[in-house]
Copies of this chain bind each other. A is one copy, B any other.
Amino acid sequence: MMHSNQYFPDVNKIEFEGRDSNNPLAFTWYDESRIVAGQPMKEHLRYAVAYWHSFYNENGDPFGAGTRIFPWDRSSNPLDNAKYRLDAAFEFFSKLGNPFYCFHDRDLAPEGDSVAESEKNLKELVSLAAQYQKETGLKLLWGTANLFSHPRYMNGAATNPDFDVVCHAGAQVKAALEATVELGGENYVFWGGREGYTHLFNTRMKRERDNLGHFLRAARDYGRSIGFNGNFLIEPKPMEPTKQQYDFDAATVIGFLREQDLLDDFKLNIEGNHATLAGHSFAHDLTVASEAGLLGSIDANRGDNQNGWDTDYFPTDLRDAVEAMIVVLENGGIAPGGLNFDAKIRRNSTDPKDLFYAHIGGMDTFARALIIANNIINDPLYAELRDGRYQSFESGEGKAFKEGNRSLEQLRDRAASIGEPARLSGRQELLENLFNRQMM
């Protein structure tokens, strides 16, 4: 039952050819077995392809219908097409060489006319995917349930003011958890695209957020009961499609998890474009999650600095990627999470090869970034410019303060005795040059 070679017949296996290659269908930096910081690139980066953007999304936008032509839409039967799509996806994965993929229930299998039929459809596709995984060695980074596309979720899924809708959300998550377990998924993700409000004053946030807590606990309990041992992940996003979402950014989600006593089972899936929509840099939200011990996985994409919506560009900005990989390396790696390309080709990228170019670009960017980030971390100047600034807290009174042992009176008395402190440069320009010298 090996996947076919019919959907991307013009493309062979993408190989590493090095930076002097002119072959646009080759990697110039991503050499999966190259050792960096003691590990092969492949294990550092743990790349995943996003099923929805690559195989399900026709690239419509609010002003126009989709432009992509899907050769796997061969039939008028959605379930059949789902199988062709799976076949095409595994052809793509095998040619690209990504070790992981991710999916929503509804991009893998079509919704049926009833909960039972939807479950049946999903089971059928999961069973097929399991065979493909076995044959190819590809793994599932995470599964999730699409609780935002169906009209029923227009007022929210777990936070819907109508309990009946909450039940449907529960049905989907139950089935998606089962699918994730069956496929050996290492994580399970919640992205609450409709968990927010369109108008603050027809909404009771506290009620809705508390309901979200109940829902997540129910999901956690069910997942654990069927043998899911991985991380549950929440993916922050500040707005869009709702006016304001509850999972605004990393700090907000961490606060929510602590409030709801969910820190033992839940971590964060940080997306670049979502961080920038929230007014943060990608690296900032990664750092917030990492410092809390809650960096679970990454959606590797980027936004548009001039546009205020979720563009989901492929992550081709080297600087962003370097900053992200510094956080990942200092985090001790991203496993059992990975880097999932939650990114879509442009609406006018209608050549089937564009999907390869896009992923090659993202994979080369982060591979190069990994090398650079490791070089930066190992540059003694970096430690001096960052950790070196805090030496006053390593001994004496500063250390006592850091340990919580200094009163306001003691601080005041020391200030009175030392006089005006020196104005110590933050040396940001030197730091930027250090980064640039490694990057250029």
Contact = CB atoms under 8 A, between A and B. Distances in A.
A262 interface: no
Contacts of A241: 61-64, 347
Contacts of A421: 152, 162, 164-165, 168
B364 A164 contact: no
A418 B27 CA distance: 40
Contacts of A304: 243
This protein's copies in its complex:
4
A328 B425 CA distance: 35
A402 B204 CA distance: 13
Contacts of A258: 255, 258-259
Given A65-B149, A116-B416, A218-B407, 9 more contacts: A69-B423, A161-B392, A161-B393, A164-B418, A199-B426, A201-B435, A222-B409, A279-B306, A280-B306
Contacts of A128: none
A284 B244 contact: yes
Nearest to A57: B62
B424 A155 contact: yes
Contact of A205 (B60, B151, B249, B291): B291
Interface in A194-240: 194, 198-207, 210-211, 214, 217-219, 221-222, 238-240
A305 interface: yes
Contacts of A62: 60-62, 240-241, 309-310
Nearest to A386: B202
Nearest to A358: B429
Given A198-B426, A387-B204, A306 B433 contact: no
Interface in A145-190: 148-155, 161-171, 173-175, 177
B307 A218 contact: no
B161 A390 contact: yes
Nearest to A149: B64
A331 to B, nearest CB: 12
Given A64-B148, A202-B385, A354 B427 contact: yes
